Amino acid sequence: MEDRLVKELVSIGLGTKEARVYLAALKLGPATAQNIAVKSLVNRPTTYTTIESLVNRGLMSRVQKGKKKFFVANEPGRLVVQMEQQEKDIRDRRVKFSSSLEDLFRNFSPAHQSQVEVLEDLNSLVHHQNDLAFESSKIEEIVTVTAMDGREKTGERASMEPAWRRLYDSEVSVRSLYASSEDRPAHGMTVSSRWKSKRVDIDRFPLEGEITICGDRVMILSCEDSVFGLSIRNRSIANSLRQVFNLAWLGVGIGE
Domain spanning 2-74, CATH architecture: Orthogonal Bundle (1.10)
Determine the residue type at 236.
S
Closest CA to 160 of 120, 115, 130, 195: 130
Q: Is 109-251 in the same CATH topology as 2-74?
A: no
**pLDDT tens-digit series, residues 156-200:** 444 556 666 676 667 788 888 888 777 665 555 566 778 888 888
Q: Are 143 and 111 in contact (CB under 8 A)?
A: no
Give the model's pLDDT for residue 198. 87
190 DSSP assignment: P
Are 4 and 39 a contacting pair, CB within 8 Å?
no
Distance CA 7, CA 177 (A): 47
**3.40.50.300, 3.40.1080.10, 3.30.870.10, 3.20.20.70: which CATH number matches 109-251?**
3.30.870.10
How far apart CA 194 and CA 163 sit, in angstroms, is: 16
Please check the confidence at residue 51 and state whether its pLDDT lies above 60: yes
- pLDDT exceeds cutoff 60 at 153: no
Do the Cβ atoms of 228 and 221 come closer than 8 Å? Answer: yes
Question: Would you give the end-to-end CA distance of the chain in angstroms?
Answer: 70
pTM of this prediction exceeds 0.75: no
Q: Is the pLDDT of residue 131 over 50?
A: yes
